[in-house]
Amino acid sequence: MGKEQFLQEHGTLVNPLDYDKDASRVWATRQLNELPVVLVDNGPFTAAAIGYCEKEVVDFLDPDDPRSRVLYMVNVDDIALACDGGGAALVSWLKRAGTEFEGLETFN
């Protein structure tokens, strides 16, 4: 399954008007059992950027970045299953960033 299909099946699409003026709102309003994932069109390929802290989310949604982007909110357990390194790597990123989260009990 490709990242686009994964995000369509496991994510909730976020309306750009919900964060257009203030990307930090995406982080502030998220549920603790989900993370923002930004699908970024890099031309020849796309990337799924996991927003594991507020700074990452704000950087991914920078209005000065001309690349096309689509934002999804995705359950952390679903992200863990799709991540290289599995949930242990995701838990490590979240803990290093000091991110409060719920879920990932299998890996925590």
| pLDDT tens column, 63-93 | 899 999 999 999 988 888 887 766 777 778 7
pTM, entire model: 0.86
C-beta of residue 27 within 8 angstroms of C-beta of residue 94: no
Q: How far, in Å, are 71, 89, 107 from residue 61 at the CA level? A: 9, 23, 29
Q: Residue ranges per domain, the chain?
A: 3-96
Q: For residue 4, give the DSSP letter.
A: H
Residue 1 pLDDT > 90: no
